[in-house]
Each structure stands twice: as C-alpha cells, then as structure tokens.
Structure 1
Amino acid sequence: MPDESATMFPEVGKAVGAASFYTLTPVEKLQAHRYVLVNCLAVEKYLNEFRVITKRKLRSRTRSQSHIDSVVHREFSDWFKHKVTLGSSMHSNELQWLACGPNVQVSRYTSYNVNGFMFRTLSREEGLKTQNSGVYITSDTRSYTSKHDSNVAVGSVSYYEKLVDIIKLNYSGQFTVVLFRCIWANTTSGRGIKHDSLGHTVVNFSHPIHTGD
C-alpha cells in the first residue's frame, strides 16, 4: 500500500548545504501549520465543512467572505485537530499526525534546488553578484486589498516575493514539509507594481503586504 503521507506531500526539490536549527514562535508555528493545512488536498473536505459550519454560526451577524476567512485563519487548525483526533478510528494515521501539528524545532536552510533552479535566501546572497532570492507565482485564490475589505476577488493572482527563510517542518517524525518564507510585495495598488515602456514588470518592495503579524 502506498504511503499516504508521500501522496499528500510529495518531495519536491532538495536542500543545498547543511541545515541549522530554529525554534518556531507560537505565531510562526500557527501560520506555518495553517498554510500546510489549507494547501493539502486531503484536508479540503474538512475545510469546506468548517466553512459551512462557520456560515451557520454567523447567520445573525455579518457573513461576508472576508469575515469567514478570518475565522478560518484563527480557528480551523484547532477545529481540525479536535475532529480528527476525537474520531481516531475514522481517520487515517497520516491525518492524525497532520492534525497534531509540527514540532516547534525546524530545520533551516539558506539554499534549495527546485526543478533545476536554485533559490537562495536574501541573507545567503549578500555580497554575491547573482541574485536568486526572487520568487514569482500565480495562484487561483481569493484575495482582498486589505483585512478590512469585504469585497473578495476570485481568480488568478500574481505574487512577487523575496525569499527570506527556508524551513522544513517535522510532523512527529512521520513526514516533513518544506516551506519558503517570503516578503510579499503589495501589488494591489499602482505604487506596488507597474510596467515600464519596454513592457518589463517593476515591483516595489518598500511597502510589503502580509508582513507576518
């Protein structure tokens, strides 16, 4: 029988150089674990169930999508842990290990190869002539101009980032997940992104968004 954890989190890329070790703060642990949960296909049905429950609870109050998303960010990981561990006989061992969250100590790297491309953290490339800390991705997601915005935009969103940390989460020795921690440019306004006369994209990192708080 195939290892379900390998299916949930297939290994992509390889670390370059030796690892150091770092202890996550409670906020960092929550943010990292939450990111893993909401991007895991095996958790998707639980996430949808929690959204339905949240909508019902907010029936007499505002039920804007931004409000629901904020509740998901705050409460889903605890709800998921309670649901999966309480019904242990109904869920796979891999989901139970996932629900319990990662260890607070993580492996830390400054370089990582992904699909033949080497990425380096900002601190690693100081003094080097080449820069490999830039990250560009597009994602089909919901987005808002700010946390106070109730108007959700759904579709392909472009993200421009600078890589500041590479960590490997360890879920009780059962499986690991590698995450890139980045500074995200605020591309929701004209000050954050523009195109020059040659068609090149110019990104301003002076006013980042999603600063980690």
Structure 2
Amino acid sequence: MLTRIARAMLVPLSRVMFRPTVEGREHVPGHGPVILAANHLSAIDSFLIPLVSPRPVAFLAKEEYFTRPGLKGRLLSTTLLAVDAIAVPRGAHRAAQAALETALAVLRDGRAFGIHPEGSRSRDGRLYRGRTGVAWLALASGAPVVPVAVLGTERVQPVGARLPRPGRVTVRFGAPLRFAPPAGGAARARREATDAIMAAIGDLSGQEHAPGYNELSTPN
C-alpha cells in the first residue's frame, strides 16, 4: 500500500521536477519479457526510466540501500520499491552472476528489466564500452532489447550531488533489437550483441563513444 502511494506521488513529482520529454514509448512492448538497456549519466537514471516507461521496469539496486536506518533510510527503501527496484548484493564474480540470475528470473516472469551496460556512471559524458551481461540476458531469455538514451540527468544530479535539482531531461526509447542464439562461440556472440546494443544507444544519445570500459566497471 505504501509503495503504491509513493509511486502515485513520484510520477507527478518527476514531471514537475524534470519536465521530461519522452520519445519512442511505442517501441516498448506492452507485454512479455523485454530488456531496457540505457546509458548511465546520473544516479537518478534508474529512477527516471521506470517513471516515464509505459510499463513497470525493474532495475537492480544494492541491498544496503534497502536497509539503511532512520527516516531517510525508510524513505529511500520505499522509493526504490515504488519503482520496482530489486535488492542484490554487490561484490565478487559470484554476486555478479547471482544478479544476472535474478534479472533472468524477472524476464522469465514476463516482466521488463532495466540495465546500464556501462556499469558505472560516465564521469565525462562519453558512452563507454558495454559489459556483456546485457547480451547474456538477451540470449538466455530470448527477450528483445530496447535501447534507451537519457539526456540531461547529469545536470539534474551531477556525480557527488546528494539530491537532484529541477531541470529538463529527455528519455528516448529506440526500436527493439533481437538476437538469435549463437551458432558459434558464445563469448563472441555476447560481445557482438553488446556492441550492437551500445551502438544503438549511442545513436539515440549522440554521445561520443569512449574507446574502452568505464574505469569503475569490470570488463567482460
């Protein structure tokens, strides 16, 4: 009940705060599993996309965000639950694989799952090489991948800012991409699919492509 009330408040609040321009909502399938793969410029990206998407979107969030003490901690956890965030541990390779398995369960349940293939936020505005977890999910689930570009969120909540400030943002949903099961090497198929997804995100965002991985990300 509390999370439904929170979501009902967050949607109009986000419209007032961020005045979002939303393009391409028709590209998001109305039902069935789908992966929304987005660039990552700000901490609010994972909050904003579910609020403007035509259907609920689940992103993963560090489990400690759900267990912080006090009123601020309760408000944060309620906000995360209101946008369908799923708590997962962060850390070693085993935790990363467990996170992918959690995401796969979301897709097998016919839901929408959101992911930032770059891993960490871009500090310089460039689009970094994607990690192949997004392709692993697409190939394992058969779900289409909708590329998503967010623009302006780095000004609304720059890296290091504790709270967002009013501003104008844009969210663009691109045409779905589909990937057939690999006929050859699985690792190569994941890499090629991930590169195609990042190219589609870059076409939507207009960002300069960085030559490598975000330094705070673990390459695959």
Give yes or no for TM over 0.5: no
TM-score (norm 2): 0.26
Greater share of strand residues, 1 or 2? Answer: 1
Larger Rg: 1
